[in-house]
Structure 1
């Protein structure tokens, strides 16, 4: 395994997901796992040049280790993005070469760049020259008919020659026409063998596998073949699957997994602080919907949150109320009054 490659530990990470992995979701995930690498939603290089940088890049210091994912194809713009990422203290900057959406294609980045390895290499070179941050790439195994193992190797060789030593491989090809982004996550078949082969053929590179992994058992199995595993929507819709990640994946046998009640109490305190600063409560409680998954009262938990957040004067105490709605487990295990004081 390529253990000497710099930057954060990538043995387990949560994928960058638009409309999901905002700073509130990442804060919640960090309460559950200390070591899992977190990624921002994708930010375009153009937005960083012309938009409100602080709004796009600010985060909670507790979120580290944290990587910024950027979409773009102009080396000069990507260099600016790298400098900003370093200035804001991110641990890594990642280039999106995997998203197949029409909007992303129109901006000439995402999965369509698999056909332009020289462009991605130029971006990597410019970014590495601009800032002392690890530059990584998240890509697919192929795009449209351009999906042979040889073309994947050509892409990896050109980009790694520019200084990218870590590739996250979504082990599906992408269809740029005919499939929606959601269908592109589900319809093209998974090909883990190709990612495993890439690791065998390029042992000096760090290969992180993405796609279809839904629990830590599967992640640990894949870690026999690759350097890291990235979990996507499974970690968002059931964040509690990360509770034992520090002990099982990062070999921290003495790591004590938090309880759901402890996590909810800490997140309620966070929500109260953020709400006092003007953040709508609904922007934060929406990330809690999967936290009771697998418990008998999970549906009551979700309903209490979704209905309660509509109340005009709803506060973070709603989280305590929702947890109590789970039943005896909730009412007995949440620290007394932890959220009720908020």
Structure 2
């Protein structure tokens, strides 16, 4: 439901216009050095800071309420809270019973019998991903020498540098995010139902707006011959590599030692200021609506650090499930007493 992971467990909480959002992390090994300034820098990467983003520019200051003592993780649950400061709920009253197209409004209203907080999307808002990023910081500390990097591959079918969002005139665009992970050991992932792809997909689909994921060459593999698609093995020095990486660093649901690579499709922001059709859930009458307020013209930009964060969370959990410890990565910032 609201918890991800087996050993490195992250529980997400909060709603868009409530007091705040955040996370509780269980299972983070003790003794990891924590730099709160670096944690805040990760939070700032997700913040709205330009015309590409929503005018709702939250400070996203993160308060670590427990689990860190004398600058290191203590082994206790880590609680991170990010208060909601720039809240304006005035534009949402008209949508309490009139679901916005392509939002979670309609199924949420039915599932929770109208009791859920609808303001700003409530629990289903992209705002909750601030807690994901906070948890991702601690996951990265477990994966010290395993860099997780994501970037925008395209926006609206074009390279991001060629897209001018100011020309949208109230509309929005989607995008594709590419993520790569280097230096993974061979054999992360569990058989059948806990594969690397399965665990990553479950986590990545928790990011609001994500509608598709492909690993390696992905769907294009269906158009290739086996002789083209197979990643043949070779030796590079004393290490086994593959000549290609169509599988994206995953074989049989386990990491192969090659670069883990996947792409994430993010849909256009559903909140647009153009007229759209909806239905009043009280009267069942159709009506035209126009969504006002503060919304991103393209949510893919701010999803980049979120993709990195949830990827790190999943891989940290799989590493600990494999029997690894933080100290097993050379150079990890940990002090044993």
Given the two structures, how large is their TM-score scaled by the length of structure 1? Answer: 0.24
TM-score, normalised to structure 2, is 0.24
Q: Which has the higher helix share?
A: 1
Q: Structure with the greater relative contact order (CA < 8 A, sep ≥ 6): 1 or 2?
A: 2
